[in-house]
Amino acid sequence: MAIKIKKLSIKNENEYSEILKRAKGDISDALDIVIPILKDVEQNGDAAIRRYTEKFDKIPVSNFKFHTKDLEANIPENWKVALEKAKSNIRQFHAAQLKTKTEVMVNGNRLGIKYTPVESVAVYAPGGKALYPSSVLMGAIPAKIAGVKNISLITPPASDGGLNPVLLYAAQIAGVDTIYTIGGAQGIAGLAYGTETITKSEFIVGPGNRYVTAAKSYLAGIGQIGIESPAGPSEVLIIADKTANPKWVACDMLSQAEHGEDSVAILTTDSYELAQEVDIELKKALTERPKRREMKERAIDDNSYILVFPNIDECIDFSNLYAPEHLEIITQNYESDFEKIIHAGSVFLGPYSPVAMGDYISGTNHVLPTAGGSRIYSSLGVDTFLKRVTYQEIRRESLIELYPFVKTLSEVEGLDEEHGTSVYLRTL
């Protein structure tokens, strides 16, 4: 394993422009595969769902719909305790995000905003390399707080064709009503269009592979479903100075690499000594903790960097250009450094705040924008599932006062005959 160490200056964009172009979750080639699947499921429903599941998951499918209240999750007690603690913290943090009706008087008129939840939400929990009961909690709990009436979970079938009990337990405590053991683009299509077995969902959240991402992005693009944001490979950027513990920094980078070969871990620092020490610790850690070693090595070798800038301010400037999914700030002055951050999915402040805390237990959401998406998207939250409904009550006195302006503006737009008249008639 050999991570790339580069000395850079923020003034020389050509030195780091390729790093900013990291994997954007390019789904163009995946769409060629995904779109026919989506159309097939739209037209043929359950039959297409079963056919693709047998083709891709190599599992014959009969029943793939389960109601959480009808099942019992047999998992170790300490797993239950950990999931319940995570639920409590996630709920407490997200409950603070709930919005209430707001009103303001403008020119004598009562204007306001009320918030209404989407009717139905589906949470996608990946299968494959790892199980993610935490993603079930992260997706379903904010939806429940927002007031979503129907919450479902969709996840690839277990090796025996059934439902993994830890995902079931997470779904039960998070407020999920229905579980579908279907994965991939065919599962997303089933939720988007509805089938004989699957109830149509208006909104789909949660991470998945590139085919799931392609399906979500395409269906959102044609207005068939809502999604939280387009997703690419998971990533962390760390801003650290000489006070940082190199062993901890290396472990944080590898915890990101542990997600998959396409994951990205970047350390930015003003200390070349720290850069060298982290390089050494990365190599040691892979020997000491060999689980998923090949995956972690690929992510570190192919996608990750240690970038040495002249000072921490330039590290911050680079971070704002990169707009990372996860950002750790491990500097002596991390509070003041954080004030300069404008683009990041979720930020972890100080030496005792590894990303894993946010992934599991602190209470913030781990469903985050990737690949620079934090420049325009936010983390999943209660407001993801709320729609703003504006309203107004116009007073007659104000209508009379404002009519001349309506008359002028409607004439400018050529709509005075009806727009203007609809106000004028009320002044008589």
pLDDT tens figures, 111-146: 999 999 999 999 999 875 567 899 999 999 999 999
Structure tokens at 282: 């990365």
What is 28-227's CATH number, 3.40.50.1220, 3.10.150.10, 3.80.30.20, 3.40.50.1980? 3.40.50.1980
Residue ranges per structural domain of the chain: 4-24+233-361, 28-227, 396-427
Average the pLDDT over 350-357 and give the result: 97
Indicate the pLDDT class of residue 28, thresholds 50, 70 and 90: confident
Average pLDDT (342-369) is: 96
Specify the pLDDT at position 25.
52
Average pLDDT of the chain, as a whole number? 93
Token digits for 25?
């979750």
Active-site option among 228, 235, 297, 325: 325
Catalytic: which of 94, 259, 326, 366?
326
Q: How far apart are CA 387 and CA 115, in angstroms?
A: 5
Written out in words, the top-level CATH class of the domain with range 4-24+233-361 is: alpha beta
Residue 367's pLDDT band, with cuts at 50, 70 and 90, is very high
Q: Give residue 157's pLDDT.
A: 87
In 3D, which of 327, 343, 346 has the Cα closest to residue 376?
A: 343
Rounded-to-integer distance, Cα 206 and Cα 368, Å: 9
Do 4-24+233-361 and 28-227 have matching folds? yes
Lowest mean pLDDT among 11-25, 81-95, 274-288, 370-384: 11-25
Distance CA 221, CA 285 (A): 42
Q: What is the predicted pLDDT for the residue at 128?
A: 58
Is 326 annotated as catalytic? yes
What residues have CB less than 8 Å from 2, skipping those under 6 apart? 301
- The backbone torsions φ and ψ at residue 286, rounded to the nearest 5 degrees and listed phi first, read -65, -30
343 is an active site residue: no
Strand partners, 348: 328
